[in-house]
């Protein structure tokens, strides 16, 4: 028969600071990746102008 272990010794791992550090590091890395994607999206955004589009026909004045 296997020997009995106390519950405290039978645990597989500890919770605490190492887990917190991993979670915080993952959050920081995800934020950096998001920031990079935002900057990239801003850089590739086509330039837009306010007003008439370039391909609009010129207005024709009525003579009269």
Q: Give 39's pLDDT tier (boundaries 50, 70, 90).
A: very high
Q: Is the dihedral of CA 33, 38, 39, 45 positive or negative?
A: positive
CA dihedral 20→26→31→36, nearest 10 degrees, is 160
- Averaged pLDDT score across all residues of the chain: 80
Both tokens assigned to 15? 């919770």
Q: How many whole angstroms separate alpha carbon 50 and alpha carbon 31? A: 33
Output the pTM of the full model.
0.51
Segment 38-63 mean pLDDT: 74
Q: How many whole angstroms separate alpha carbon 23 and alpha carbon 17? A: 10
pLDDT at residue number 55: 66
Q: Give 23's pLDDT tier (boundaries 50, 70, 90).
A: very high
């Amino acid at each position: 028969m296997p020997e009995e272990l106390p519950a405290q010794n039978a645990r597989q791992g500890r919770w605490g600071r190492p887990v917190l550090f991993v979670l915080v590091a993952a959050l920081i890395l995800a934020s950096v990746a998001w920031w990079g994607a935002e900057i990239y999206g801003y850089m590739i955004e086509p330039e837009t102008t306010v007003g008439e589009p370039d391909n609009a026909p010129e207005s024709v004045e009525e003579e009269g």
